[in-house]
Chains A and B, each alone.
Chain A
Amino acid sequence: DAKTTQPPSMDCAEGRAANLPCNHSTISGNEYVYWYRQIHSQGPQYIIHGLKNNETNEMASLIITEDRKSSTLILPHATLRDTAVYYCIVRANAGNNRKLIWGLGTSLAVNP
Chain B
Amino acid sequence: DAGVTQSPTHLIKTRGQQVTLRCSPKSGHDTVSWYQQALGQGPQFIFQYYEEEERQRGNFPDRFSGHQFPNYSSELNVNALLLGDSALYLCASSKDSPGPNSPLHFGNGTRLTVT
Which residues of A pack against B, CB within 8 Å? 2, 32, 34, 41-46, 49, 87, 91, 93-94, 96-105
A99 with B42: CB separation less than 8 A: no
Interface size on B, residues (CB 8 A): 27
Bound complex: CA A101 to CA B56 (Å): 13
Extra pairs beyond A99-B48, A104-B41 (10, CB < 8 Å)? A41-B108, A43-B90, A44-B92, A46-B105, A49-B103, A87-B42, A94-B100, A96-B55, A99-B33, A104-B42
Say whether A99 contacts B108, CB under 8 Å: no
Q: Please determine whether B106 and A45 come into contact, CB atoms closer than 8 angstroms.
A: yes
Q: Determine if B66 is an interface residue (Cβ-Cβ < 8 Å).
A: no
Evaluate contact between B99 and A94: CB separation under 8 angstroms.
Answer: yes
Of B41, B43, B107, the residue contacting A100 (CB under 8 A) is B43
